[in-house]
């Protein structure tokens, strides 16, 4: 037996458990959460997140990182600065990427605010990220539930997106709206030699929708390029497909857009990436930033994990190895559904600087 008559626990155990510590660096923040005895002050609660730990700290660091992007963006740019020969437009070019579902959700209003006030410089999204914004100008999306049964919904013509529902009629209205525009685009291609690309088409749709609720209306007005190379992968593609029978010949070229996107990174003085979600939007922005040997400031917000080797779930440090993020950057990933955190981020960053940032934009 193990000697129950000993006065002392085994020394290996005591030494392992009671191993003394070396000193920590003096400047490490102490963990301390918000004290509600001081009253309810949500701004102060969010300030306290830096010393709360886990993803609360990540959120606080993301807010810091974006505030640095904004500060650098406001710095004046002199001729000869930036890469290559071009003079950049601002001290920091901000790339914003987001997946389709965020436009279906109420995060759209935060994104629209950023476009309206020209607070970001380049947008990358998916087909759904474009069309859902336009469709919302035609009809509503509703709050449902993740567990609504698919078969019953389909029989009733109701589409589910997570816990949202969208009547299929919305897509019928979209067809009515879009078809004449496609006709017109084809006419311009054939008569004026317009070489359509996804980014040109998105600006055209933003112009046509002519609705201040729309992200792409403001992107058009404020001349923010919107890239979406797989623009046919969604309802827009369905309509383009139908249109190819009715009135064939439209061409959407993705070569010109990759050059245009990469130029946004190459000729920037500094760049910041704010990427909500994964997949194409995450990779496309990061890949463009490889063209300048890496972004300077980075915030990812997503729920992906790295263990399956996906780009979506990769930590920012993987992009550092590729040269997509600078080796001296301090990128931040917030592991969260963007709907939970992005409105809070906007509240603590862009919306704090609306006056300074708004100079020069068109807002009506």
Catalytic residue numbers, as ranges: 324
In whole angstroms, what is the distance from residue 123 CA to residue 285 CA?
Answer: 9
Among 75, 78, 87, 142, binds its own copies (CB under 8 A): 142
In whole angstroms, what is the distance from residue 57 CA to residue 326 CA?
Answer: 22
DSSP at 350: G
Question: Which CB, 74 or 139, lies closer to its own copies?
Answer: 139
Among 122, 209, 338, 357, binds its own copies (CB under 8 A): 338
**Taking CB under 8 A as the rule, which mask of x and - marks residues 149-188 in contact with its own copies?**
xxx-xxxxxxxxxxxxx-xxx-xx--x-------------
Among 187, 223, 251, 358, binds its own copies (CB under 8 A): 251
Restricted to residues 209-248, the positions that interact with its own copies (CB under 8 A) are 229-235, 237-238, 240-242, 244-246, 248
Residues 6+ apart with CB under 8 A from 326: 293, 294, 295, 296, 320
DSSP at 352: G
Cβ atoms of residues 107 and 342 within 8 Å: yes
Residue 194 interacts with its own copies (CB under 8 A): yes or no: no
Nearest-approach distance from CB 44 to its own copies, in angstroms: 10
CB atoms within 10 A of CB 48: 17
Restricted to residues 82-141, the positions that interact with its own copies (CB under 8 A) are 83-86, 99-101, 104-110, 113, 116, 126, 128, 140-141
Question: Which CB, 78 or 154, lies closer to its own copies?
Answer: 154
CB atoms within 10 A of CB 37: 5
Question: Which CB, 78 or 253, lies closer to its own copies?
Answer: 253
Residue 26 interacts with its own copies (CB under 8 A): yes or no: no
Residue 359 interacts with its own copies (CB under 8 A): yes or no: no
Restricted to residues 286-315, the positions that interact with its own copies (CB under 8 A) are 287, 290-294, 302-314
Q: Which region, judged by CB under 8 A, interacts with its own copies, from 42-50, 63-71, 90-98, 214-222?
A: 42-50
Q: Output the CA torsion 356→357→362→364 (10° steps).
A: -80
Residue 199 interacts with its own copies (CB under 8 A): yes or no: no
Residue 79 interacts with its own copies (CB under 8 A): yes or no: no
In whole angstroms, what is the distance from residue 259 CA to residue 268 CA?
Answer: 14
Residues 6+ apart with CB under 8 A from 333: 58, 299, 300, 301, 302, 315, 316
CB atoms within 10 A of CB 272: 26
């Amino acid at each position: 037996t193990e000697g129950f008559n000993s006065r002392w626990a085994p020394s290996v155990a005591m030494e392992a458990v009671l191993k003394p510590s070396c000193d920590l660096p003096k400047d490490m923040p102490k963990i301390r959460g918000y004290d509600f005895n001081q009253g309810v002050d949500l701004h102060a609660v969010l300030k306290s997140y830096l010393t709360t730990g886990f993803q609360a700290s990540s959120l606080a660091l993301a807010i810091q990182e974006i505030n640095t992007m904004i500060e650098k963006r406001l710095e004046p740019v002199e001729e000869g600065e930036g890469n290559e020969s071009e003079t950049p437009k601002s001290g920091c070019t901000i790339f914003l990427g987001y997946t389709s579902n965020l436009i279906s959700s109420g995060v759209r209003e935060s994104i629209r605010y950023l476009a309206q006030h020209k607070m970001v410089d380049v947008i990358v999204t998916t087909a759904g990220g474009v069309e859902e914004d336009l469709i919302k100008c035609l009809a509503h999306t509703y709050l449902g539930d993740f567990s609504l049964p698919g078969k019953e919904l389909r029989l009733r013509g109701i589409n589910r997106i997570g816990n949202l529902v969208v009547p299929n009629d919305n897509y019928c209205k979209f067809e009515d709206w879009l078809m004449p525009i496609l006709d017109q685009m084809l006419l311009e291609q054939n008569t004026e030699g317009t070489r359509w690309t996804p980014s040109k088409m998105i600006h055209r749709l933003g112009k046509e929708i002519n609705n201040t609720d729309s992200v792409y209306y403001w992107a058009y007005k404020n001349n923010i390029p919107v890239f979406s190379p797989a623009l046919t992968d969604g309802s827009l593609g369905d309509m383009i497909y139908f249109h190819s029978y009715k009135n064939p010949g439209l061409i959407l070229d993705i070569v010109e857009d990759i050059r245009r996107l990469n130029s946004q990174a190459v000729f920037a003085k500094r760049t910041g990436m704010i990427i909500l979600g994964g997949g194409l939007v995450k990779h496309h922005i990061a890949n463009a930033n490889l063209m300048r040997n890496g972004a300077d400031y980075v915030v990812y917000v997503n729920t992906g994990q790295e263990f399956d080797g996906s780009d979506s779930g990769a930590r920012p440090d993987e992009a550092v190895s590729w040269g997509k993020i600078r080796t001296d950057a301090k990128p931040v990933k917030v592991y969260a559904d963007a709907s939970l955190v992005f409105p809070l981020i906007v509240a603590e960053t862009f919306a704090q600087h609306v006056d300074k940032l708004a100079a020069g934009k068109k807002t009506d």
